[in-house]
Amino acid sequence: MTDIEIASQVEMLPITEIAKKIGLQADDIEQYGKYKAKLAWPLAYRPDKKHKLVLVTSINPTPAGEGKSTVLVGLGDAMNQIGRQTVIAMREPSMGPVFGIKGGATGGGYSQVLPMEDINLHFTGDMHALTAANNTLAALIDNYIMRDNSLGLDPRRIQWKRVEDVNDRALRNVVTGLGGVMQGVPRETGFDITAASELMAVLCLATDLVDLKRRVGRIVVGYTYDSEPVTVAQLGFTDAVTILLKDALKPNLVQTIAHTPTIIHGGPFANIAHGCNSVIATRAAMQLADYTVTEAGFGADLGAEKFLDIKVPVLGKTPDAVVIVATVRALEYNGGAKLADLDRENLLELKRGLANLNRHITNVQRYGLPVVVAINHFASDTDRELAVITENCQSLGVDVAVTDAWAQGGAGTLALAKKVVQLVEETKAEFTPLYDYQASPRAKVETIAKKYYGASEVEFSRKAEKQLEQFARLGWNDLPICIAKTQYSFTDDQTVLGAPTGFKFHIREFVPKLGAGFIVALAGNMMTMPGLPARPAAVGMTIDADEKITGLF
């Protein structure tokens, strides 16, 4: 059965029942249909509560993904089964990839979040609100340079791009404002996907509405002819943009197939953005449960690094344990096996690929965090393959559990849940950040690239070098770095798999995001607007008169 077929056979509980499980009454939520709600209650965060936080990350994936969300959902269900009151906190899917290649992002099989069609499509409108707020700001900026421009904003130096939650490569590079005097000021610009927008990061890092407004106001939209930054606050657009985000700031409550309360909120990608769900949602989960299990996107080189270096300082809480999801398939892929061969036993490639897992283990341990490896079981795995991974982890003194969350849900994730609980309850994590927050952007990039990725050298483009000078002049030195790079490799080249060392890491350009509070470093040729494949998933979808949908994964 497909994911959507499994999902359609589940009888969901009314969302009011799910809310009750975590102590929320009817007035604490705003229903969106019968099975979705926004948390309406004031999210007064009490940092003194003894909540536990578990972060789920993974090794470098294959293009099909390694089922990290599936393991996360199964883990949440299993934790509740073994008597630990647990809430899952995860990101909202982006609609663009749903119609492209990736499919949905709500887990799979018997470890899914429901209602999966709604969550994978418009959900409660957060992504659309971000798109609208982003593009309203863009229109206000273009109107400003056409009408007045008393601040001298340079049309060539406007940094604020429009966005869409669509995979639309034709919008990567556009010329707008054509047609004459009454049609605006012509300029080169482009669209990003909403998940990569600064407002998405702002929403995910804001601690409340006032903080959101402050962050919106300090967004730098561009530079004057004298290269001075111009902010949203200077233009007077702060409140209008904030108004459009007031509901999107409220976390969404849904349920898993096993009725585990799940808070889904914020959806930045981890390759081209910071890859973590919102601070408000994670805090809400921690407030409402003894255990919060959450995820960060793609491999630990991307999402987890950003979780630990960008989100944790705002969140005010470090993970009590980290789960690294690995699959036989992805290890073999990292060890040189071809995609078409992953269904058969490839012991040689598997053993070679373990270097990728081990690099991620070492990296997470570098932060002082306890690690457990989850082997996400696929039907094609052999006992010998599983044994190779288990023995490798044991030789490193790292806990490991085989999970079967897809086929068995929480029941297939019990062993992992027990190991996680043991690790959390018996280990004391001593968190050490990867880099000094006071270091220069150059130093931070070099630390991440060398200590974390394995590079021997970082090459900054001429443009990036000039930007580093500019940041120093503007006093933007103390911001964390958010690296945008391929999810397939520790390098900036997606074909270099495994655990490479001694490579040169290339920074093409920086994008300062003062509202989000970090500086994006674009590595290699990473794009901030995905494209569609030759045969988009959209072509295979159907809907009938009774709203029954097929072709959503």
Site for its own copies in 224-253 (CB under 8 A): 236-237, 239-240, 242-244, 246-247
- The nearer residue to its own copies, 209 or 347, going by C-beta atoms, is 209
Q: Which is nearer to its own copies, 449 or 552 (CB)?
A: 552
Least spacing, CB of residue 535 vs its own copies, in Å: 8
In the list 21, 172, 259, 418, the residue contacting its own copies (rule: CB under 8 A) is: 172
Minimum CB distance to its own copies smaller for 186 or for 368: 186
Nearby residues of 48 by Cβ (< 8 Å), 6 or more positions away:
none
Q: Which residues are annotated as a binding site for ATP?
A: 62-69
Question: Residue 213 catalytic?
Answer: no
**Catalytic one among 52, 84, 91, 317?**
91
Tell how far CA 196 is from the center of its chain: 10
CA atoms 197, 199, 201, 204: torsion sign? negative
Q: Contacting its own copies (CB under 8 A), which of 44, 83, 179, 383?
A: 179
Q: Which stretch binds its own copies (CB under 8 A): 173-181, 263-271, 301-309, 379-387?
A: 173-181
Say which residues have a Cβ less than 8 Å from residue 135's Cβ, sequence separation at least 6: 162, 163
- 91 an active-site residue? yes
Of the two residues 237 and 298, which places its CB atom closer to its own copies in the complex? Answer: 237
Using CB under 8 A as the binding rule, the residues of this chain from 107 to 126 that contact its own copies are: 121-122, 125
Using DSSP bridges, classify how beta strands 220-224 and 229-231 pair: parallel, antiparallel or unpaired: antiparallel
- In single-letter form, the type of residue at position 83 comes to G
Report the C-alpha gap between 551 and 553 in whole angstroms. 6
Instruction: By CB under 8 A, tell whether 407 contacts its own copies.
Output: no
Number of Cα atoms under 13 Å in the Cβ half of residue 251: 34
The least CB distance from residue 130 to its own copies, in Å, is 10
Please identify which of the residues 123, 406, 471, 476 carries the catalytic annotation. 406
Q: Minimal distance in Å, beta carbon 149 to its own copies?
A: 12
What is the distance between the alpha carbons of residues 189 and 195, in angstroms, rounded to a whole number?
18
Stretch in the footprint of its own copies (CB under 8 A) among 44-52, 101-109, 161-169, 495-503? 161-169
We find the least distance from the C-beta atom of residue 366 to its own copies, in angstroms, to be 36
Q: Taking a C-beta distance cutoff of 8 angstroms, is the pair 57, 374 a contact?
A: no
If binding is defined by CB under 8 A, does position 402 make contact with its own copies? no
Of the residues 13, 64, 146, 151, which one makes contact with its own copies according to CB under 8 A: 146
Interacting positions 185-224 with its own copies (CB under 8 A)? 185, 188, 208-210, 213
> Should residue 132 be labelled a site residue for its own copies when binding is judged by CB under 8 A?
yes
Q: Give CA–CA dist 537/120, Å, rounded.
A: 13
Q: What are phi and psi of 324, to 5 degrees?
A: -105, 115
Site string for its own copies, 353-372 (x = CB under 8 A): --------------------
DSSP string, 375-439: EE--TT--HHHHHHHHHHHHHTT-EEEEE-HHHHGGGGGHHHHHHHHHHHHH-------SS-TTS
Query: Is the Cβ of residue 15 or residue 373 nearer to its own copies in the bound state?
Result: 15
Residues belonging to the binding site are 62-69
The verdict on 135 binding its own copies (CB under 8 A) reads yes
The single residue of 68, 161, 250, 485 carrying the catalytic annotation is 68
Does 510 participate in catalysis according to the annotation? no
Structure tokens that stand for 224 in this block:
């004057």
For its own copies, the binding residues in 84-103 under the rule CB under 8 A are: 95, 99
Any contact of residue 142 with its own copies (CB under 8 A)? yes
Q: How far is the CB of 186 from its own copies (least distance, A)?
A: 9
Give dist(CA 212, CA 522) in Å, integer. 25
Q: Which residue in 341, 418, 549, 553 binds its own copies (CB under 8 A)? A: 549
Cα dihedral sign, 269-289-22-414: positive
> Which one of 160, 237, 307, 378 is the catalytic residue?
378
Identify which of 463, 431, 464, 430 has the alpha carbon closest to the alpha carbon of residue 446. Answer: 464
Q: What are phi and psi of 138, to 5 degrees?
A: -60, -45
Residues 14-43 that bind its own copies (CB under 8 A): 30-34, 38, 40
Cβ at position 527, least distance to its own copies in Å: 9
CA distances to 58, 111, 230, 434 from 72, in Å: 11, 8, 41, 25
Window 508 to 537, contacts with its own copies (CB under 8 A): 531-532, 534, 536
Nearer to its own copies among residue 53 and residue 552 (C-beta) = 552
- Catalytic, 553? Answer no
Helix (H, G, I), strand (E, B) or coil at 526: coil
Look up residue 169 and give its two tokens.
Answer: 């490569």
Alpha carbon distance 351, 335 (integer Å): 7
Residue 169 among the catalytic residues: no
Q: Is 68 a catalytic residue?
A: yes
* Buried b / exposed e along 501-521 (16+ C-beta atoms within 10 A): eebebbbbebbbbbbbbbbbb
Instruction: Select which of 36, 38, 57, 70 is catalytic.
Output: 70
CA-to-CA separations, 430 to 55, 243, 361, 444, in angstroms, rounded? 15, 40, 16, 21
Q: At what angle do helices 126-147 and 198-205 cross, to 10 degrees?
A: 130
Q: Whose Cβ is closer to its own copies: residue 422's or residue 494's?
A: 494
Distance CA(414)–CA(163), nearest Å, equals 41
Give the C-alpha separation, 371 to 368, whole Å.
9
Q: Considering beta carbons, is residue 236 or 316 the nearer one to its own copies? A: 236
Q: Which residues are catalytic?
A: 68, 70, 91, 102, 270, 298, 378, 406
